[in-house]
């Protein structure tokens, strides 16, 4: 009985990482028009959807820069379609101070993030950092 309980406990502890969504992790955004970029930590949020917040901001020289957007949600409400695609979400673009209806596509260690607002669409490619 004790061995069964320990085995079940070990399985429960190892199952979490195996079930993590492949979009989880730290992503480097594509530089904006000024060469600035950020690191976004992607995870599953309380509503079961994928979200990500800005954890660091960098200038064109790669040095960290202060930003009022640290801690701000950059991606939220993404729903995985099971084939590397995500839809029905939102993305905030700090350089434009705009929120877009968005979708994402995971391609190995890159994440295509695209969004549209009032018929104007933007697309960027993020790279996995870890």
pLDDT of residue 13: 38
Q: Where are the domains of the chain?
A: 2-128
Domain 2-128, what fold?
Lipocalin (2.40.128)
Q: Tell me: the pLDDT tens digits for 5-45?
A: 333 333 333 334 446 899 999 999 999 989 999 999 999 99
Cα dist. 38→6, 10, 69, 94, 129 in Å? 42, 36, 10, 10, 11
d(CA 58, CA 35): 9
Paired residues of 28 in beta bridges: 39, 127
Q: Taking the model in full, what pTM does it have?
A: 0.83
């Amino acid at each position: 009985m004790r061995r069964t309980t320990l085995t079940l406990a070990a399985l429960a502890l190892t199952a979490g990482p195996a079930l993590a969504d492949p979009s989880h992790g730290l992503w480097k955004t594509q530089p904006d028009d000024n060469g600035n970029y950020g690191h976004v930590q992607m995870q599953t949020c309380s509503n079961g959807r994928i979200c990500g917040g800005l954890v660091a901001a960098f200038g064109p020289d790669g040095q960290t820069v202060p930003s009022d957007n640290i801690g701000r949600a950059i991606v939220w409400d993404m729903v995985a379609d099971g084939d590397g695609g995500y839809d029905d979400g939102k993305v905030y673009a700090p350089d434009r101070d705009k929120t877009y209806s968005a979708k994402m596509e995971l391609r190995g260690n890159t994440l295509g993030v695209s969004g549209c607002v009032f018929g104007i669409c933007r697309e960027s490619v993020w790279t996995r950092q870890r």
